[in-house]
Structure 1
Amino acid sequence: MKSSRSFSMHLLSFSERGTGERRTIPDRCPPAKKPVLSWPNPDESVTASSSLNQLYQERAAYRLPLYSARQVARLTGLSASTVQAWTHADDHEALVQAASPEGLSFLNLVEVHVLAAIRHQHGIPLQRVRHAVQFVRQELQAEYPLAQHQFETDGVDLFVRALEDENLLINASRRGQITIRQLVEAYLRRIERAADGFPLRLFPVYASNPGFVPSGLPAYIVVDPTVAFGRPVLTETYVPVDVVVDQYRAGDAVADIARNFNLSAPAVEEAIRYELGA
């Protein structure tokens, strides 16, 4: 059944994607197979005594450790080792405070997504990034400072000022780099929020290269912890990406998959690119 939600971001143009030449997706999957990420078993993620509806109403689902470092890495275009270094649960100086030693939450994912904006573009020392995050956390008095709506309104300026120095600005300008502020704001626009500013859904940026800015990037894939236990799903029908790609691996043609799941062919192709890293 097609979702009644509005997906305005889905209509964004491919022309501004800026990720370089896109690989052509063959109509059928070649014989070689690639392991897929394993997602939490629902019974392991939520105790039997908990009501999912109640969890969602209280927004507890957004704090559940649904993701491994590897899964967050896949959703943010980072390496798993980078995500692990940023999110050590027992490290008080961690850039992102992990939900638990067992995994990362959706709010953790959103924070890593924001940090990925500067990681992809600027050679900023990790210690400077850590200082900036700690500064914003202290100023905003927030458990998840980079995921808070207040970060968009007040925190970006604090964050950028803590990150940048005169030499960095001059060097970036000489290289023609987009500013840190522009990058962070572009990544923040990929977060859909409730009326009170709480982050509800993330349209992930899972691939980039130098000079990349996600302005105009299509939003075929979305992550919502209240849908499919936080697995990446396609915005058109909310069918999980891995379910669609399993059909492709089984030898089904893109057109047949699109018809079976009531999806557009570009959405199916994007699911394949995401899952297979094409």
Structure 2
Amino acid sequence: MVERYLQTDNQWELDIYNIPIYSVTDASRYLNIPLPTIRTWLNGRKYKTRKGEQNFLPLIQRPSEEMSQLSFTNLVEAHILRVIRTIHNISLDQVRIALDYISKRFDTDHPLATKQFSTDGVDLFLEEVRDLVNVSRSGQLAMKEILLQLLTRVEWDENNLATRLYPELDNTNDDKILIIDPRISFGKPVIKGTGVPTKAIAQLYDAGDSIEDIAENYDCKVIDIKQAILFESYIKVA
């Protein structure tokens, strides 16, 4: 495993946010992104043009070229790319150009996982995209609002780096009950404030335990347990 370090208060600490700990399959499930899509973002792709075969470079840079796993930082990047790419249907080439521009402005390989993207970065991205595609003013505003809402599901530390992600569950008002934090339960999705993995909750429920009993045993609210079960059920079929 590749170990990376951050300097904080004149000390070097293990950078757990960039350790490769998530399989591509788990990242796909947690974020509700089709597996072929996230593989393209990670590996790039080749495509044919009139000028011959072209190579599209990856949108997400893994922490290690020798390992297939993703880091927490990569999860955050994919979380944001999902809206940019799949909901607004901006082409991969256009996304690549815009992100390269923002990376240079922010001087980072992971601009989507920095707090600066939630302030200056969204406008910079939209400005660059506006020059590449025919996006109406109302379309730009809609994209900006959705991106800003998506970024509220990310928490940042004092260095303005992403440290927590609240996964989404479609068709629910979950109020950020579930979190993904590499410092808790090896980065698996857990119920906020408990450290209890959602997978463990779902396994107890599938084994026949009632929601009320599980909530009492883990000192959780019933709604928390329901959300954990729904999340695990959802990602099984996503």
- What is the TM-score when the length of structure 1 is the normalising length? 0.70
Aligned 8 A contact 2:85 2:92 in 1: no
Q: CA RMSD in A?
A: 2.6
Residue 120 (structure 1) shift: 4.3
Aligned 8 A contact 1:147 1:199 in 2: yes
Partner of 1:106: 72
Aligned 8 A contact 1:89 1:97 in 2: no
Residue 151 (structure 2) aligned to one of 188, 198, 215? 188
Residue 234 (structure 1) aligned to one of 184, 188, 191? 191
Residue 153 (structure 1) shift: 2.4
Q: How does 1:28-177 map to 2 (within 5 A)?
A: 58-88=13-43, 93-100=57-64, 101-164=67-130, 167-169=134-136, 173=139
Partner of 1:253: 210
- Structure 1 gaps, min length 5: 1-44, 48-56, 209-213
What is the CA–CA distance in structure 2 between the aligned matches of 1:217 and 1:129, rounded to whole Å? 30
Q: Which runs of 4+ in 1 moved over 6 A?
A: 89-92
Task: Give the number of aligned pairs.
Answer: 215
SS in 2 for 1:83: helix
| Deviating more after overlay: 244-253 vs 147-156 | 147-156
Residue 273 (structure 1) shift: 0.9
SS in 2 for 1:146: helix
Aligned 8 A contact 1:204 1:223 in 2: yes
> Which structure's residues are more often strand, by fraction?
2
SS in 2 for 1:154: helix
Aligned 8 A contact 1:76 1:206 in 2: no
What is the CA–CA distance in structure 2 between the aligned matches of 1:138 and 1:152, rounded to whole Å? 16
Residue 240 (structure 1) shift: 0.8
What is the CA–CA distance in structure 1 between the aligned matches of 2:176 and 2:184, rounded to whole Å? 16
- Structure 2 gaps, min length 5: 4-11, 46-54
1:149-192 deviation digits (Å, cap 9, x = unpaired) = 2222221111111223573226x65xxx9611111111111111
What is the CA–CA distance in structure 2 between the aligned matches of 1:257 and 1:233, rounded to whole Å? 14
Residue 207 (structure 1) shift: 3.5
What is the CA–CA distance in structure 1 between the aligned matches of 2:85 and 2:107, rounded to whole Å? 24
Q: Kindly, what percent of the aligned residue pairs are identical?
A: 33
